[in-house]
Copies of this chain bind each other. A is one copy, B any other.
Amino acid sequence: MPIKANDPNRKSWIPVPENSDFPIQNIPFGVFLTRDDVITIGTRIGDHAIDLGSLHQLGYFKDIPLTDDIFLQDTLNDFISDGKKTWRLVRNRIAELFDVRNDELQHNEDHKQVILFTMDEIEMQLPVQIGDYTDFYSSKEHATNIGKMFRDPDNALLPNWLHIPVGYHGRSSTIVPSGTPIRRPYGQTIPKGEDKPVFGPSKLVDFELEMAFITTDANALGEPIDVQEAEDYIFGLVLFNDWSARDIQKWEYVPLGPFLGKNFASSISPWIVTLDALEPFRVQSPKQDPEPLPYLRHKGNNSFDIHLEVDVTPENGESTTVCKSNFKYMYWSMAQQLAHHTVNGCKVNSGDMMGSGTISGTTPDSFGSMLELAWQGTKPVKLNGGEERKSVADNDTITMRGYCSKNGLRIGFGEVASKLLPAIESNPPKKNK
């Protein structure tokens, strides 16, 4: 089935500002609360959100096999379960309907009144109910930086890293959409040179620049997914800030991996951009040497050229772009990650989320975490207002953006922006009973 929605000549009758992440060729999917306090599934063109629930009720999707309430839900899980063929039919239909050459809806003021919202009229929600969340560790530069800092600089990568897309399970319940403030977490840490831990707010809160993909129902328990087919089970991508408390993580993570140092919060951008929309921006992954085992080998362009950047904005202060990176730096592709994840028969469901791991490039200004940017505190990051940072400070807002750009077409992700609030005053909290 052709991806008609990607036609670069298509223009929408909804105005699209210059450099918008959301031209009619994007058509991301999200969930929002409308001005009437109704939850609906929607898409976005320019600075307008479109209520797909109402659009479907008004009959605009009548030629596509969809259940009546598929968009009148508070998550995209059921729609994602419908599979790639349906996603593409819906995306193509939206592109057609909002095309400036199409009169079906363009001049129907009553219908437009119901389905169109300006962004300030709505409140974006978490787009999916995330059953399971896995985080990979697939940037070679990031893994190398960590190895140099904490292990052997001459032998920075661990023996398994070039053979396995290393990953681990994370916590789904604390994944929140852009805009949700994050609390500085408490935890145990081990003071340098001591052998007894202390308790208090983390002193080393960090961001991690990641992207994450959302899957559909992919397999039955016990059935692996072939790497050649893995992309068929990926609905789309979001920006992902994997908040980390480095001091808590350091004391807790041996031998079973990161836990409380990560699960206090993780933030995602609210619009899921489909793989179809990213199709024009395919590029090759970095060459893999040694060649991976056969179940991880695939041909073609399995990565995407997505520019990424991170801003730090102090309270009432100026923003500073502290990192510019790119999704294409990832050593392991999403298809390899999903094939590896299921090679043992692990079941993947609709709405599961898989993070890339911190995405760092080769140059110091492309490192995807404050830990790497400030090189363990030895090279503080200078902000435009004159302040310095070795980690995220109270009331800093961290904003991540991502977009693709080629031949005049820009497809973007918007942003994931979240503010770090100071720690709660006492822990456990005092009771007022």
Contact = CB atoms under 8 A, between A and B. Distances in A.
Interface of A: 131-132, 134, 137, 158-160, 163-164, 166-174, 176, 180, 182-183, 185-188, 190, 195-197, 199, 221-227, 245, 248, 251-260, 263-265, 290, 293-295, 339-341, 343-349, 352, 424, 427-429
Given A221-B265, A295-B427, A160 B245 contact: no
24 contacts: A132-B172, A158-B255, A159-B190, A159-B195, A163-B197, A167-B256, A168-B169, A168-B257, A169-B171, A173-B347, A173-B348, A173-B349, A176-B221, A180-B221, A183-B345, A186-B345, A187-B343, A221-B265, A248-B344, A255-B257, A257-B257, A264-B345, A295-B427, A345-B424
Nearest to A180: B221
| Residue of A131, A169, A182, A294 with most chain B CB atoms under a 10 A cut-off | A169
A340 to B, nearest CB: 7
Number of copies of this chain that the complex holds: 2
A131 to B, nearest CB: 6
Contacts of A164: 188, 197, 251-252
A256 B161 CA distance: 11
A81 B343 CA distance: 36
Nearest to A135: B256
A169 B349 CA distance: 17
A205 to B, nearest CB: 11
Contacts of A134: 171, 259
